[in-house]
Every structure is written in structure tokens, then in C-alpha cells.
Amino acid sequence: MQSKIFNLNWEDFDYKDPEQRKQLSGALQFYMATPDKFVPGRFSKIEAFVKKHDEFQNLKLQAFTIPSNFPVYEKAIDVVKKFQMIPEYDNGYEQIFDVLNFEGTRASGFDVMDMASGLTFNEVKVGEKLKVYQMAGDKERCYFSFYGGALGWHRSLFEDQQYWLAENNAQEFRGRAYGTRASVFYGLLEEIAERKGCCSVVDAGCSGDCNADALSIARSINYAATRILRNVAGKGYNLNPQTTNFVVLVPLEMLERVRQALTVRSQAFAQSPTVAAFNFMIVTSMMLTNHNRIMVILPKRKLIAGYRMDLTLFDDFDILSYTDTVAGWMRYGGCAGDLDQLECIEFEPISGSCPTSPEGGAGVPEAPQ
């Protein structure tokens, strides 16, 4: 039986062989680490891992020191299927947060400052000295928290050759680990939106003209971006409205309407400019709890995430339960140093009457009564 995750035939795998178990453990570490944004330190000097990580994620790789007690990873590379390395997880929040890599450090967290200096640049005449402005502001400590889970594999799965169950467990384990991390950062953004309240409300009705719906959404998004630019002016970001990029964070239910809004044109002819006045990129997530709200975000800057430890596995055999237990740990944290980087738009719940399909029926079916 060919493995779905690893490049091996389970019928040739001998779980009683310590060397084969060690290679499988290393391959499992490889499989768990691939979706991460950064190359884990223990893999950084392994050319095959770095190559695949770069190939499938197109990220800038960073070098770390590999511990000398992990020779198993060299062989593990050979038993990992290439197509299984492609990450399919929701990592859109990494387009919003400035993600910093703290792996290999001893940091317990990082500081985020809402600094105000009153600094201005003035002409300095010959012989004069520059005026020194003291930095002032609130400093908040953002601590790294531990997140973990454990998976038990009863050895009967291998003895009875029920390998697909072990693989499904491994896939679910990896998905839940990275899904939990994503939900933490999306939750932080939703908390900001709840605390601030939304700056605009969009009516769900079309009144027979669904183009008006797109225009209303586009103008609300423009208004949110304008509010952000005005509110952060003077904070040292030095933003150019013509080149500043914004992220529109959208729940799945609002994707079609927002996408149409960002492409609607101000006039009926194709060469007319779009109503969207700024540079917007859509990030869609199914992890947002409010399905009738979108967020317009000035990304990065003081929206900061820190990764202290990637998904790292520790395994042990329990002789009392005849189970191999694999525990996975991650450590990360995030903070928002400037709430003015986010504005939200509330939508009235859709009735199911808009938009209309080409056949004349409702494009969004009504919920059953």
C-alpha cells in the first residue's frame, strides 16, 4: 500500500525496526514543519528541505544552526512525497501582520511601542545644533504563549496494517496545529473590530439594481481607508495614498460582493476608472466569527506577530497502553500597537434576493424555514 504522505510502500515498512521507526519520526517532523513561514533551525542546513520549502512557499529563507543530534533528518527527506509538501492552510493573516522570527532566541516576548516624539525637521544653520527630541509613549510587552496537542498511535495500527488511519491522524494533527495559530491572530483582529466598532453599515437590499450594492460597498471601503490614513497621519508612517496598500479581510460569505465592489467602474464604459480609490488586496478566511463584517486594514507596521517555536514533535512509547504518543508544541504571540490601522464595515444580513442569477432565480438561496 502506497503512503499518501510519505514516499514509501507501507508493506515494505517494518515498524519493529528501530532505524526505520527513527526515519519515519524524522519524516513526520519534516511533514509537520513544511507549512511554516520560516525554515526551522533543525532543517536550515539540509539542502533538500530548504529547496522544497523555497519551491513551494517562495519565501525568503533564513539560516539557523542545526543541532548535531538530528542526523535522522537527512534520511527523512527521501521519504516525503513532493505533492504533500504544498501547504493548503489559511495563512492569510501573515499578509496582515509583520511576522518576526524569534526561533533560536531566548526571548519570552517582544515590546510594542506606541511612540510619540514630537519630532520635526527644521533648517539648521551653520554652527547650530540639532534639537534632541525624547521618545515618549506606552510600551506593551507581548509574550509568547505555548500551544500544544498530543496524538496517540496504538501500535496495532501498524501491526494490522491500518496505515491510512495513522496518515489521516497525522494530516488532521498538522491541520489543527496551524489552524489554531491562524485562529489566534484572526481573533486578535476581530477583537480590535469589536472594541472600535464599525465606521459604516451597508444595506443588504438591491432595490432592483445590484450595481448600487457594489457602489455602496466600494465607497464604504474607500471611506474606511481614508479614515485610516487620516488617523495615522503624523505617526511616522509617511504614507503615500497613491502607493499605500490595504488589505480587505473578508469572510467567505462576503467574498463575491466585495470582489465585485473592488472592480465596479465609475462609468458604464470599460475604460473608466474603478470606484475603489486605493490599492486593495482581498484576504478571505473561513475563521472569522462575524460573517456580516469586513475589515479594511493597513497591514504590518505595528500589527506584529512573533514565532518563537515552530510545530515541534516529541515522541514516547507508553508500555502500559502499547501506544506511541506524539506531542506537538508551538509557541507564538501577537500584538496590535496601533488600533487606528483597522476599520470595519458592517453588513446587514443578506436576504437571498441579491444578486440575481442569469437564469432569473436568486443567486443566494434563502435558509430553510
Residue-by-residue pLDDT tens, the chain, 369 positions:
667 666 667 777 777 777 877 777 777 877 777 777 787 777 777 777 777 667 656 543 222 222 333 334 344 343 343 334 444 678 899 999 999 999 888 888 888 766 444 444 444 556 665 555 444 456 678 888 899 888 887 888 777 777 777 778 888 888 888 899 999 999 999 999 999 999 888 876 555 566 888 889 999 999 999 999 999 998 888 899 999 999 999 999 999 999 999 988 877 767 778 889 999 999 999 999 999 999 999 999 999 999 999 888 888 888 888 888 888 889 999 888 889 999 999 998 765 555 544 444 443 344 443
Distance, in Å, from the CA atom of 39 to the CA atom of 45, rounded to the nearest integer, reads 10
pLDDT at 246: 96
Q: Is 123 exposed, middle or buried (0-12, 13-18, 19+ CB in 10 A)?
A: exposed
C-alpha 136/C-alpha 188 separation (Å) is: 25
Helix (H, G, I), strand (E, B), or coil: what is residue 210? helix
- Tens digits of residue pLDDT in 64-87: 222 333 334 344 343 343 334 444
pLDDT tens digit sequence for 311-354: 888 888 888 888 888 888 899 998 888 899 999 999 987 655 55
Q: How many CB atoms lie within 10 A of CB 222?
A: 18
Return the residue matching grid coordinates 472592480: 263
Q: Domains in the chain, please, with CATH? A: 1-88 (no CATH), 191-303+339-347 (3.30.2320)
pLDDT value of residue 41? 75
Supply the pLDDT for residue 250. Answer: 96
**Contacts by 227-233, CB closer than 8 A, 24 or more apart:** 227/199, 227/343, 228/296, 228/298, 228/340, 228/341, 228/342, 228/343, 231/340, 232/298, 232/338, 232/340, 232/341
Give the model confidence (pLDDT) of 89-120 as tens digits.
788 999 999 999 998 888 888 887 664 444 44
| Nearest CA among 28, 61, 25 for reference residue 46 | 61
- The terminus-to-terminus CA distance of the chain in angstroms comes to 47
Count of other CB atoms within 10 angstroms of residue 246 = 21
Measured CA distances, 105 to 41, 88, 111, 244, 309 (Å)? 11, 29, 15, 33, 10
Count of all residues that appear for the chain in the document:
369
